[in-house]
Amino acid sequence: MSRLAWEEIAAAREAIEGRAHETPIMTSSTIDGRCGGRVFFKCENLQRTGSFKFRGAMSTIVALTEEARSRGVYAHSSGNHAQALALAAKLHRVPAYLVMPEDSNRRKVEATKGYGAQVTLCRPTYEDRRATAERVGVETGAQLVHSHNDLRVIAGQGTAVCELLDETGDLDLVLAPVGGGGLLSGTVVAAKHLCPGVRVIGCEPAGADDAYRSLQAGELITDFTPETIADGLRTPLGENTFAILSELIDEIVVVPEEEILPAMRFVWERMKLVIEPSSAVAVAPLLTGQIDVTGLRIGVILTGGNVDLDELRLG
């Protein structure tokens, strides 16, 4: 059995109703023509703070006791979880302490500070992130809200696919990016409950393919240095997300790095949607034919749209 029940996702959906946006679902006849299927894009790039992460952060903050809220929350994040937790905390007058790697997207750092969080920068290694966060937690007495291994967060992330399936009806396939695995874990639990015949595939950049390698090896791999343009997917799986994906996921596909930016640019130009490279990781396999979706109805979660245009070269 997985470590997350459908009932927890249903409760999270009720908790964030009216607090998180019910983001739109968009289609593209051009993309349909390229891949041979019917594709429905869940636009979490239009979510509050620019990514799906607000769902998990808000559902967790809402569930905290008053005593826990008074002590505050902390986490480490490369950007999207940091922004989401900072805003969710601000809306509930909860102190927030975020640890971010010094090579984080500077726009995400600025936004996190702008939401009122106290930001501590650290070296860009997972071990240093974790160690710095532990120190901040001890110093502040705040409660950890892990970006992807917290079951409360995973439940919140699973609400996106619930909205997708409400609008589209049954789907044959759902694609979502995978970094730490929180979104993909919540997605696969919710999707398999609501649409038992659906296949769920995680899409992972080649420069950070620990989820693929972990599932192939049957053990969690965390000792690696990610080198990918998809900065939101540089985090390794956690114990909870590894357990859920090991049980339920149908497949992880590894997307070549050179295919990520062209897919992002294609969505920008043809759909007029600003998505970040992490989102494009789930679009690229459709455009290149890496996944055969001929005749299928496919849902794709566009996870975020937080891009630093000063640093990005689209070619």
Which domains, from first to last, does the chain contain?
6-51+157-302 (3.40.50.1100), 54-151 (3.40.50.1100)
Catalytic residue among 42, 51, 53, 279: 53
pLDDT digits (tens, 9 = 90+) for 13-68: 999 999 999 999 999 999 999 999 999 999 999 999 999 999 999 999 999 999 99
- The pLDDT value recorded for residue 2 is 54
User: In this predicted structure, which of 44-53, 124-133, 260-269 has the lowest mean pLDDT?
Assistant: 124-133
Clarify whether 246 is annotated catalytic: no
**pLDDT(1) > 50:** no
Looking at every residue in the chain, the average pLDDT score rounds to 95
- Mean pLDDT of all residues in 212-235: 91
- Mean pLDDT of all residues in 245-249: 97
- The pLDDT value recorded for residue 308 is 73
**pLDDT(206) > 50:** yes
- Mean pLDDT of all residues in 276-303: 98
Catalytic residue among 78, 147, 185, 278: 78
Q: How confident is the model at residue 314 (pLDDT cuts 50, 70, 90)?
A: low
**pLDDT(315) > 80:** no
**pLDDT(127) > 90:** no
- Mean pLDDT of all residues in 290-304: 98
Distance from C-alpha of 158 to C-alpha of 10, rounded to nearest angstrom: 9
**pLDDT(313) > 80:** no
- The pLDDT value recorded for residue 226 is 87
Clarify whether 78 is annotated catalytic: yes
Q: Around Cβ 101, how many Cβ atoms within 10 Å?
A: 22
Distance from C-alpha of 255 to C-alpha of 162, rounded to nearest angstrom: 26
N-term to C-term CA, the chain? 46
Q: Around Cβ 166, how many Cβ atoms within 10 Å?
A: 11
